[in-house]
Structure 1
Amino acid sequence: MISGLPMAVPEPGLPPRVRIHEVGPRDGLQNEKAVVPVEVKAEFIRRLAAAGLGTVEATSFVHPKWVPQLADAERLLPLLDGVAARLPVLVPNARGLERARALGAREVAVFGSATESFAKANLNRTVDESLEMFAPVVAEAREAGLAVRGYLSMCFGDPWEGAVPLEQVVRVARRLLDLGCGELSLGDTIGVATPGHVTALLTALNEAGVETGRLAVHFHDTYGQALANTLAALRHGVTTVDASAGGLGGCPYAKSATGNLATEDLVWMLDGLGIDTGVDLGLLTATSVWMAEHLGRPSPSRTVRALSPQES
């Protein structure tokens, strides 16, 4: 068993601090077949915040018919009073925003697609129709003083359409930002990106007038490329990285999507690069072991397994 932390050896040119946008309670759990009790979800979020994660995406206000795992959003948020973290929530439409605002949510996100096939599968709309749906949601949220994040899925590859042209991603990304999203998370939903592809997309977005500071990255580890892709993004200047505690997650509408980048694996790499995250890796690992016990299976995170005897 490996113990402790990696030796910190900084790489010149990398950001001194990275904000981890923890998505485990929402994106990580949404694909679980067995419903996780709301009290367990609340404790999961409290433990993640206690481990130093300053942003924990709590839930989604999607219709319960589509994602039964998150049907308890109204019950969950009141259980999180006093949690010392930002607690953004996903709102798919105007009704979702109304429900979130009624519970005092201060940060929301909308979830778009760079491809027509996934827009149809996930939202039952074309890309343009989905953007039209988001426009009043983003406008109302901003008018109410809420921070708005945009997710853009299928930025690198689509299970039906194959490789996604850079210009196609840039076009939809620009439109989401123009709607008023303050931050845009670029999703490699099926995990097919490679470092050169990441750099090319970030460069294309910059050339289209998108500042790197408004971008986050969201990688899945289907082909073991998530950390390499993250490092490419860091070298480009990205400072916000999405990750899921214990490597939980996938995508219910893209069956080839495996788990998200594990937060522990990300923190191990960032600690080794001397990059500050504010996260206590020991507490985070213990949290993922605890959640894995509730889910009845070991964590897929390599770091969790290396640091935890019961996971090895």
Structure 2
Amino acid sequence: MGAREAGLPERVPSAAGLPDRVRIWEVGARDGLQNEQSVVPVEVKLEFLDRLAAAGLSVLEATSFVHPKWVPQLADAEQLLAGLQRREGVSYPVLVPNARGLDRALAAGVSGIAIFASATETFAKRNLNSSLDEQFGMFEPVVTRALAEGLEVRGYLSMCFGDPWEGAVPAEQVVAAGRRLLDMGCFQLSLGDTIGVATPGQVERVVAGFGAPDRLAVHFHDTYGQALSNTLAALRLGVSTVDSSAGGLGGCPYAESATGNLATEDLVWMLDGLGIEHGVDLDALVRTSAWMAQQLGRPSPSRVVQALSG
């Protein structure tokens, strides 16, 4: 059953000053697939990306140049980018962990990268083998060189709301770390709820701590079913870029308690109901995620995919 057959949500524009349009930063092909135990063939990944672009998504985070030892699923990064049929108006940024990753990304001809920092000491040590403070020294030459090469650089900040080893993360600690990435030259900062423990009140406190929200994005996991509520809280404060993953795919290979990302279909359904533009064809997106679920051999965790493809 398609979205039109099931009935779309009634559009009830909010009076809360929400943005007119939201940019969806689709992470399904990278963050969504990186933790899959069975290697997904590059041909499947390429078709996934092409289907997502055809559905109207204009930002598709394609892969990561992390060392294959740490994320074997993305060991085919060069092969994937070489085979990618780029569509006009669609950007295909990649995650770059270090200088070597940047070398590989530049050789592959990318136009945008993202770096991945931590808001907490423990996760920085476990994920980056660095202290909270030292990580910025590692990223600075990467960002400087990328900018000099004409690339856009996005900053991810993980563990912004809770850390499995340290517990709740103080908002001022998140703001201080995030500002260092922005001051370094990142055009945008994505605030990550890596283990999915955030609540709307926390989101409001952290986002408000940055003042102007125009350079912020949010990246929520749905471990406790709060991803949409947290997204709405961010939108009400003026955030207009939201990370999501088609079909709700994903987790974090370095945080065992992390479950799937906010499903792009669930986000689109909510945005439709609020009268917020996003440019995505929900029917085509649902078909894409249902197809990908078949490739992975399990049902999609997205509630909207379940409702509209059942």
Aligned to 2:23: 19
The partner residue of 1:130 within 135, 138, 141 is 135
Code of the residue aligned with 1:39 in structure 2: it is E
Question: For 1:41-80, what aligned pairs fall within 5 Å after superposition?
Answer: 41-80=45-84
Alignment partner for residue 121 of structure 2, among 99, 116, 128? 116
Q: Which runs of 5+ in 2 are unaligned?
A: none
Indicate yes or no: 2:32 matched with 1:28: yes
Cα offset, 1:254, TM superposition: 0.6
> What is the rounded CA distance, in whole Å, between the counterparts of 2:194 and 2:79 in structure 1?
29
- 2-side partners of 1:279 and 1:234: how far apart? 18
Map 1:100-179 to 2 at 5 A.
100-179=105-184
Query: Would the aligned equivalents of 2:50 and 2:85 in 1 still touch at CA under 8 Å?
Result: no
The match for 2:96 is 91
Q: Secondary structure at the match of 2:133?
A: helix
Q: Residue 140 of structure 2 aligns to a residue in which SS?
A: helix
The offset of 1:82, in angstroms, is 2.9
Give TM-score, length-normalised by structure 2.
0.97
Shift in Å, 1:4: 3.2
CA distance in 2 between counterparts of 1:81 and 1:104 reads 13
CA distance in 1, matches of 2:171, 2:123: 16
Whole-Å Cα distance in 2 between the matches of residues 66 and 82 of structure 1? 27
Deviations along 1:194-250, one digit per CA (max 9) or x if unpaired, are 1111011111111xxxx3110000000000000000000000000000000000001
Q: Distance in 1 between matches of 2:9 and 2:278?
A: 14
Structure 1 segment 215-226 matched on structure 2, within 5 A? 215-226=216-227
- In 1, the alpha carbon distance for the partners of 2:291 and 2:135 equals 38
Contact 2:52 2:288 in 1 (8 A): yes
Deviations 1:124-178 (A, max 9, x none): 1112221111000000011111000000000000000000011111111111111
Unpaired runs of 5+ residues, structure 1, are none
| Aligned position for 2:284 | 283
Percent identity over the alignment? 71
* TM-score, with structure 1 as normaliser: 0.96
Match of residue 265 from structure 2:
264
Classify the secondary structure of the residue corresponding to 2:191: strand
| Cα distance in 2 between the residues matched to 1:240 and 1:4 | 26
Moved over 2 A (4+): 81-84
Deviations 1:60-108, CA, capped at 9 Å, x for gaps: 0000000000000000001113333110000000111111111110000
In the TM superposition, residue 121 of structure 1 has moved relative to its aligned partner by 1.3
CA RMSD, Structure 1 to Structure 2 (Å) = 0.9
